[in-house]
Structure 1
Amino acid sequence: MDFDETVLFLQDYSWIFNFKVTEILSKTTLQNIPYQWFQYLKDTNIDEFNKTFVYTTEGKFADEYKKSIAIVEQNFIQQFKFRLNKIKMKNKEFKFDSSNDKENPSLWKGHSEKKIHEVRRFTQFIDNKLLKTEDLCIVDIGSGLGYLDEKLLSYGFDVIGIECNEAFHKSAIQRHKKESEGMNNSVTMKHLHMNFSFQPDCVKAVEKSISDEKDGCLVALHACGDLTNQIIKTFIHSEKIRSLAVVSCCYHKMNSNDFPISQKLKEASVELNVNYFNHFFLRLGANEPLSRWMKMSDIEHIEHSNNVLFRSVLEMYSKQVGLELKKKRRKATKKSEIKDFVGYVDNLENIYDLSFTEQEKMHLQSIYETKRYLHKFVENLTGLQFLVQQVIEQLILADRKAYIEEQMNQIYCDSEHECDIELVYIFDDVISPRNTVIYASKNSKR
Structure 2
Amino acid sequence: VGVYYMEHIEVDIMNSLSFLAHFDWIHNFGVTNIFTKEVLQNLPSEWLTHLKNLRTDELNELPFIETSSMERYPAWPLSLHNFISRASTLSLDRKQIQDITPTSVDYGMARGMTPKKWHEVSWMASLVNDIVCKTNCNLIVDVGSGLGYLDHVLHQVYGHAVLGLETSEGHVHAAEHRAVSQGLTCSRIQSMKFDITDDVDCFQKFENVITNLKFPLCCGHSIKEGVQTSDRMLTTASHKVCLIGLHCCGDLSSSVLSLFHHVNSIKAVCCVCCCYHKMT
TM-score (norm 2): 0.70
Partner of 2:246: 221
> Is the 8 Å Cα contact of residues 138 and 240 (structure 2) preserved in structure 1?
yes
Gaps of 5+ in 2: 1-8, 215-236
Give the alignment of 1:28-427 within 5 angstroms: 37-41=44-48, 43-44=49-50, 46-48=52-54, 58-61=65-68, 64=71, 74-91=77-94, 93-95=96-98, 96-98=100-102, 101-131=103-133, 136-154=138-156, 155-180=158-183, 185=186, 188-197=188-197, 198=199, 199-211=202-214, 212-255=237-280
Q: Which structure carries more helix by proportion? A: 1
1:76 to partner: Cα distance: 2.1
1:24 aligns with 2:28: no
User: 1:158 and 1:134, CA in 2 relative to 1: closer, same or farther beyond 3 A?
Assistant: farther
Q: How far, CA to CA, are the matches of 2:268 and 2:94 in structure 1?
A: 19
Q: How far, CA to CA, are the matches of 1:169 and 1:50 in structure 2?
A: 41
> Is the 8 Å Cα contact of residues 113 and 149 (structure 2) preserved in structure 1?
no
Q: Which letter maps to 1:24?
A: E
> Is the 8 Å Cα contact of residues 135 and 213 (structure 1) preserved in structure 2?
no
Q: Which has the larger radius of gyration?
A: 1
SS in 1 for 2:192: strand
SS in 2 for 1:108: coil
Q: How far, CA to CA, are the matches of 1:173 and 1:51 in structure 2?
A: 43
Q: Which letter maps to 1:123?
A: A
Q: Which letter maps to 1:127?
A: N
Q: How far, CA to CA, are the matches of 1:192 and 1:252 in structure 2?
A: 28
Q: Which moved more, 1:147-156 or 1:225-234?
A: 225-234
1:100-159: CA deviation from partner (whole Å, max 9, x where unpaired)? x34342222342221011111111111112228876111111111011111011111111
SS in 2 for 1:131: helix
User: 1:4 and 1:176, CA in 2 relative to 1: closer, same or farther beyond 3 A?
Assistant: same
1:10 aligns with 2:24: no
Q: How far, CA to CA, are the matches of 1:51 and 1:114 in structure 2?
A: 21
Larger RCO (CA under 8 A, 6+ residues apart): 1
> Is the 8 Å Cα contact of residues 210 and 216 (structure 1) preserved in structure 2?
no
1:134-187: CA deviation from partner (whole Å, max 9, x where unpaired)? 761111111110111110111111111111111111111111122126x8x5x7
Q: Which letter maps to 1:8?
A: S
Q: Which letter maps to 1:12?
A: H
Gaps of 5+ in 1: 256-446
User: 1:50 and 1:117, CA in 2 relative to 1: closer, same or farther beyond 3 A?
Assistant: closer
Identity of aligned residues (%): 26
Q: Which letter maps to 1:129?
A: I
1:383-409: CA deviation from partner (whole Å, max 9, x where unpaired)? xxxxxxxxxxxxxxxxxxxxxxxxxxx
Q: How far, CA to CA, are the matches of 1:227 and 1:77 in structure 2?
A: 35
TM-score (norm 1): 0.46
* Cα RMSD after superposing both structures: 3.4
